[in-house]
Structure 1
Amino acid sequence: MTSKERAAWRAKANTLEPIIQIGKEGITDNLITQIDDTLDVRELIKIRVHLETAPQTPKEIAPQLAQRLGADVIQVIGGVIVLYREADPQRIEEKKRKRGSGNAKAKAKKKVKIKGLRQRQREKEAKNPYAVYDRLNKDKNKKPSRTK
């Protein structure tokens, strides 16, 4: 990557907010997976490193992340790392195939129909014939509304 390309990506990253944070655990497999998925979607991301708790400095973490993810380090300023990786549609499709269709959970989910008060009352009365009298007694015990 040339310095002009890097400067252009730095300008685009200026408005971004850090969406991933690195804390006391440092670089873990879950973190790598999360960053990898995010780079597939966004290409350019900011990562915040908590300076007080992180086991390494951001300048040490940035090249490790770039190497494991196949990304380019655009800049490291203070506790913020900016990474760029061009989206590869072929790799994204391969990941989707490995994970499965993703619709299995949606298909297995049961549709829930929300019932209204009247429908619940009708079902209650259908099961128990004396429930009708409960409803009638409630209506009689209500206080009459005051009218002017």
Structure 2
Amino acid sequence: MLTGKQRSYLRSLANNIDPIFQVGKGGINDNMVKQFNDALEARELIKVSVLKNSVDDTREVCNEAANLTDSEVVQVIGNKFVLYKESKENKVLVLP
């Protein structure tokens, strides 16, 4: 579980990154979960964009993605959300 200070720090880092995934009307499938896990292992922090043709709300998609990948929700703003998961092998970020 992230503290407020850690969440704030991760939000500041997420400002400078672009979304690397897009979730459309198909929602989140098994292949996307695998890609999320691979990206989280490599980067620890990812930003995802939810397209307007998506059936689900951005917060619903974010919570589902966080549950399926065992990651932490950093923030949800508009149609984008940010996830964080500590890497096992190549730790890049040091939380305050």
Superposition TM-score, scaled by structure 2 size: 0.89
Q: Which runs of 4 or more aligned residues in structure 1 lie more than 3 Å from their structure 2 counterparts after TM superposition?
A: none
Residues in 1 aligned to 2:27 and 2:67: alpha-carbon distance in whole angstroms: 15
1:116: which partner in 2? none
1:64-75 aligned within 5 A? 64-75=64-75
- Residue type of the partner of 2:34? T
The alpha carbon displacement at 1:24 in A equals 1.2
1:7-86 aligned within 5 A? 7-51=8-52, 53-86=53-86
Name the SS of the counterpart of 1:35 in structure 2.
helix
| More relative contact order, 1 or 2 (CA 8 Å, 6+ apart) | 2
Residues in 2 aligned to 1:55 and 1:40: alpha-carbon distance in whole angstroms: 28
CA deviations 1:99-142 (Å, max 9, x no partner) are: xxxxxxxxxxxxxxxxxxxxxxxxxxxxxxxxxxxxxxxxxxxx
Rg: which structure is higher?
1
Name the SS of the counterpart of 1:40 in structure 2.
helix
Bigger share in helix:
1
CA deviations 1:3-34 (Å, max 9, x no partner) are: 11000000000000000110111010011011
Gap regions ≥5 residues in structure 1: 90-148
Taking only aligned residues, the RMSD between alpha carbons, in angstroms, comes to 0.7
1:4: which partner in 2? 5
Percent identity, aligned pairs only?
Answer: 40
Name the SS of the counterpart of 2:42 in structure 1.
helix
Gap regions ≥5 residues in structure 2: 90-96
CA deviations 1:69-117 (Å, max 9, x no partner) are: 010000000000100000012xxxxxxxxxxxxxxxxxxxxxxxxxxxx
Superposition TM-score, scaled by structure 1 size: 0.58
Name the SS of the counterpart of 1:34 in structure 2.
helix
Residues in 2 aligned to 1:24 and 1:34: alpha-carbon distance in whole angstroms: 18
